[in-house]
Chain A
């Protein structure tokens, strides 16, 4: 190392030699690459010039010269080359010039590296690299970037329209924007991306408005999927990755969000047609495409919900109209069909939910809400809860009229339970079900215990024990009654003298489990009086603490009618039997005589007499022989009655129980609300009014939906009864009083 100071001009002269060589290499002229030696010399020159003692420490001048060199190069060589070029050619030139510039900066930085180590830190000035970029930025980029943006955007547009473009070129060009940001993305975003996104929006908005008119829903979706794929591809090919989210969001919005309702509700190809024609692929595509959009599925689920609601409501309307149009029909026939239709609808859409919509909870919710709309409609005066109970009843009556297999019955019952979740008044269902269950258990021979218990356990699982506990009790009662009967038979055998001379069975029902029945103070025929007495005697040997109330209206009697043509066995209700047996003693009885002897109310007696004299089987002859019973009529035994069968059942049409069921349920609801409120208060101790209301509704939701007024009334009542009180300071809070 020489100890002599290098003079600035001298040192710079050395450097210039190297710089000129570099320029020649960059210009593509024939030149040998830099050797290690050459590099070392240049590096060392700088080193020395910076380490000389002042005033020969030339760091600052060198730094300036560095910058000047670059500026000069750009001004003299780069700018002219760009001046007269256009479009793609301009782009190409720019990319090349930028690449060159970077190489120049790289080499110069190596030569001048020593400045980077100490000078820039000392003086807090930008590093050599940064200076390099800044020179290009100020002299070239600021000038050309609007033009570059135009060119890039028009190339992208060309590509979108189907032409091939030079993707690598675009990639390089856009990288310039990024690098010009010096570590930030602001140049890329401000000078390119903003307008790019805007033009993208405009482009797809135009396309969408055209396609939505021309294309079918599936085609449109296919096109949209394609476009989105292409845009993603575009990003990975030449756009900066940070653009992807913003870009996709814009495209999705223009294509899929703006027109979503128009698209999915298309008359000939929309969602409802896809369902109708079972287009699983198209439906899955719809889900897939909208799943990628934030809140996109909400939009689809909404259309789905409306569609299902319309379908279900149509079935309901069908049932309403069918019944009112027909003069006579099988009672409830149309309602049975309705339930079948709704069950089928449910099956179908559950399948779609799984196969096309990934069982997504938005769609589950949509399905639920749709079903809740039409599963709570009243059809021809019959509430949906009743219709469903009748449907179940129909199935359970010895498999219904179609003689279904056990498996099918089980399946159908399971579906009925599923459908019940959409019915709001579940307690109404329970009450109707209970009434029908009672009739099945008491009158329907050969009910299948397994099916009965199975549906009860399904109901219990879904909706809790309160719904089914009474019904389970009923089924148990009937089973126990059979056991009872055999011990009663034994009792009769052991006490032959008390035998009434008739075969009879007694079914003991636990009050409380069974629906409440009207009690009639019927005067029994003497033969039956004996039976009652005997059973009472037997029952008292079993237990002394129970009271028996006899409900003869639920009983069945077999009577031998000695008609002239041939004897016929009549299966009648015990009340009917009581009427008929009167005629063993008298040939002719007037209405008033019958009333006096039987002690029944007029409504009930008229029903009975009608069934025996004006209906299908005329066991009694009525004078006058009009179609209805009046209190001045008289009756005679009809000896000429006959039928081709040897045994007939004389039906007694049941009283319409609908009103009573609804009344009974309405009466019980306040107690249920009370119980829920007390439960909540007991566990919370202190609670706000709003919370109490919402928790009460939630607790009772398995049985019914109480309205706020009803809850308020119960709160009032509970306050009066000192179960709870209003907080003294906070009028909207309540406190539990232990």
Chain B
């Protein structure tokens, strides 16, 4: 998330009057009420002239949720919302996402965040989330690759907990090497494969003649030289 200097104050919604809506209610009246609450929540953070929540709004949302705006859970939220543009949530995305989460209030959203972590970690979702994380960084139109600096941060954020030693080592390499200034999506997806498939730190089962991207070939070479 891009850091913003100013903080906008927001009015926390009154949670006591929320009726239970777990998204499974069949009655349309309950549904309309739920949608209204979701919209109200949206408007709390949205930039009215843009018609969507902008980075400032997201920052405010984060502070209300009690998470850092660089927290991986915000990225997960963006994934759940299927947000297209980094730093922005459209009304559509907000509605669809919150409905899918089954929340219509801030407190529910807070709780949902920790559930979200578990959901993302499911193998069927994880790769999707991982790929999404990269796409989310493509801020310019027709942008295909992400700069090394951002990739390192993203790797740390997304894979750091699960694959700490690999990620630390890989990030070290990315920062010292000169062959690549940017990383494309193919290389990105292979970082995950690498962490999952290759034994670490011996790298015994890595075969450079196979279809691994060249950057990983170079990384393995660098590692082997370091430890010889």
- Residues of A bordering B, CB below 8 Å: 688-690, 693, 708-709, 712-713, 716, 719-722, 725-726, 731-734
A689 near B184 with CB under 8 A, answer no
Q: Is the CB of A731 within 8 A of B213?
A: no
The closest CB in chain B to the CB of A726 belongs to: B186
- List chain B residues, Cβ under 8 A from A708: 208-209
Please, what's the 1-or-0 string for B184-228, where 1 marks a CB less than 8 Å from any CB in chain A? 101101100100000000000000111101110100000000000
- CB closest chain-B residue, reference A727: B211
Q: Assuming A693-B209, A716-B186, A722-B144, what are 12 further A-B pairs, CB within 8 angstroms?
A: A688-B211, A690-B210, A712-B213, A716-B184, A716-B215, A720-B145, A720-B186, A721-B144, A726-B211, A731-B190, A732-B211, A734-B211
A734 to B190, CA, bound (A): 14
**Contacts A689-B211, A732-B210; is A719 near B190 (CB within 8 Å)?**
no
Which A residues are in CB contact (< 8 Å) with B209?
Answer: 690, 693, 708
Point out the residue from A709, A720, A731 that lies within 8 Å of B144, measured CB to CB.
A720
Contact B214 A709 (CB under 8 A): yes
Residue pairs across A and B with Cβ atoms less than 8 A apart, 29 shown, are: A688-B211, A689-B210, A690-B210, A693-B209, A708-B208, A709-B214, A709-B217, A712-B213, A712-B217, A716-B187, A716-B213, A716-B215, A719-B184, A719-B186, A720-B144, A720-B145, A720-B184, A720-B186, A721-B144, A722-B144, A725-B186, A726-B186, A726-B189, A731-B190, A731-B193, A731-B211, A732-B211, A733-B211, A734-B211
Nearest Cβ on chain B to A711's Cβ, whole angstroms: 9
Q: Which residues of B contact A709 (CB under 8 A)?
A: 214, 217
Interface centre among B193, B210, B211, B213 (most CB of A within 10 A): B211
A720-B184, A726-B186 given as contacts; is B144 within 8 A of A712 (CB)? no
Nearest B-chain residue to A714, judged by Cβ:
B214
Nearest opposing residue in chain A for B197, CB measure: A731
B224 CB to closest chain A CB, in angstroms? Answer: 15
Measured in the bound complex, the distance between the Cα atoms of B217 and A726 in whole Å is 17
Closest chain B residue, CB of each to CB of A718: B186
In angstroms, Cα B211 to Cα A689, docked, is 5
* CB-nearest residue of chain A to B179: A713
Q: Which residues of A contact B213 (CB under 8 A)?
A: 712, 716
> Out of A712, A720, A722, A733, which one reaches B214, CB within 8 Å?
A712
Give min CB distance, A332 to chain B, whole Å.
38
Residues of chain B within 8 A of A712, CB atoms compared: 213-214, 217
C-alpha spacing A39/B118, complex, angstroms:
106
Q: Is the CB–CB distance between B214 and A713 below 8 Å?
A: yes
A722 closest partner in B (C-beta):
B144
Question: Which residues of chain B are within 8 angstroms of A725 by Cβ–Cβ distance?
Answer: 186
Residue of B nearest to A719 (CB): B186
Question: Which residues does chain B contribute within 8 Å of A690, judged by CB atoms?
Answer: 209-210
Q: Which residues of B contact A733 (CB under 8 A)?
A: 211
Query: How far apart are the CA atoms of A719 and B215 in the complex, in Å?
Result: 14
The 7 closest A-B CB pairs, nearest first, are: A689-B211, A732-B211, A712-B214, A720-B184, A719-B186, A713-B214, A720-B144
A131 to B90 Cα, complex, angstroms:
104
A180-B217 Cα distance, complex, nearest whole Å? 70
Task: Tell me how far the C-beta of A692 lies from the nearest C-beta in chain B, rounded to whole angstroms.
Answer: 9
Give Cα distance in the complex from A731 to B144, angstroms: 20
A708 CB to closest chain B CB (Å) equals: 7
Q: How far is the CB of B30 from chain A (nearest CB, A)?
A: 40
Residues of chain B within 8 A of A720, CB atoms compared? 144-145, 184, 186
Within 8 A of A (CB), among B166-188: 184, 186-187
- Report which residue of B187, B193, B213 has the largest number of chain A beta carbons within 10 angstroms of its beta carbon: B213
The smallest beta-carbon distance between B192 and chain A, in angstroms, is 11
Residues from chain A with a CB closer than 8 A to the CB of B145 are 720
Q: Which residue of B lies closest to A724 (CB)?
A: B186
A394 to B: closest C-beta gap in Å? 42
B113 to chain A, nearest CB (A): 29
Q: Please indicate the chain A residues that have their CB under 8 angstroms from the CB of B193 in the complex.
A: 731
Q: Report how far A721 CA is from B187 CA in the complex, Å.
A: 13
The smallest C-beta distance from A166 to any residue of chain B, in angstroms, reads: 67
Closest chain A residue to B214, Cβ basis: A712
Instruction: Name the A residues within 8 Å of B211 (CB-CB).
Output: 688-689, 726, 731-734
- List B contacts of A719 (CB < 8 A): 184, 186
Query: In the complex, which residues of chain B have a beta carbon less than 8 angstroms from the beta carbon of A688?
Result: 211
- Residues of A within 8 Å of B214, CB to CB, are 709, 712-713, 716
> What residues of A have a CB within 8 angstroms of the CB of B187 in the complex?
716
Which residue of A has the minimal Cβ distance to B131? A728
Shortest beta-carbon distance from B126 to chain A in Å: 14
Per the bound structure, the CA–CA distance linking A160 and B184 in Å amounts to 78
How many whole Å from B187's CB to the nearest CB in chain A? 7
Pick the most buried of A688, A731, A732: most chain B CB atoms within 10 A of its CB.
Answer: A731
State how many angstroms separate the Cβ of A382 from the closest Cβ of chain B: 30
A731 to B187, CA, bound (A): 12
Q: In whole angstroms, what is the CA distance A712 to B208 when docked?
A: 10
CA distance A689 to B209 in the complex (A): 9
Q: How far is the CB of B79 from chain A (nearest CB, A)?
A: 18
Query: Complex Cα distance A708/B190, Å?
Result: 18
CB within 8 Å of A: which B109-144 residues? 144
Nearest CB on B from A713, distance (A): 5
Interface string of B144-168 (1 = CB under 8 A from A): 1100000000000000000000000
Residues from chain B with Cβ under 8 Å of A721 in the complex: 144
Least CB distance, A293 to chain B, in whole angstroms: 36
- Please give me the residue from chain B that is nearest to A713 by CB atom: B214
Q: Which residue of B lies closest to A732 (CB)?
A: B211
Question: Min CB distance, A442 to chain B, in Å?
Answer: 41
Chain B residues in 8 Å Cβ range of A726: 186, 189, 211
Closest-CB distance, A565 to chain B (whole angstroms):
63
Question: Could you say which residues of chain A place their CB within 8 Å of the CB of B186?
Answer: 716, 719-720, 725-726
Whole-angstrom CA separation of A688 from B210 in the bound complex: 10
B189 (CB) vs chain A CBs: closest residue: A726
* Whole-angstrom distance between the Cβ of B42 and the nearest chain A Cβ: 34
Contacts of A734 in B (CB 8 A): 211
When C-beta atoms are compared, the residue in chain A nearest to B208 turns out to be A708
Q: How far is the CB of A285 from chain B (nearest CB, A)?
A: 44
For the complex, what is the distance from the CA of A712 to the CA of B189, rounded to whole Å?
Answer: 16
Q: How far is the CA of A716 from the CA of B145 in the complex (A)?
A: 12
- Rounded to whole angstroms, the CA-CA distance of A254 and B93 in the bound complex is 84
CB of A403, distance to nearest CB on chain B (Å): 54
> Which residue on chain A has the smallest CB distance to residue B193?
A731
Measured CB to CB, the nearest residue on chain A to B186 is: A719
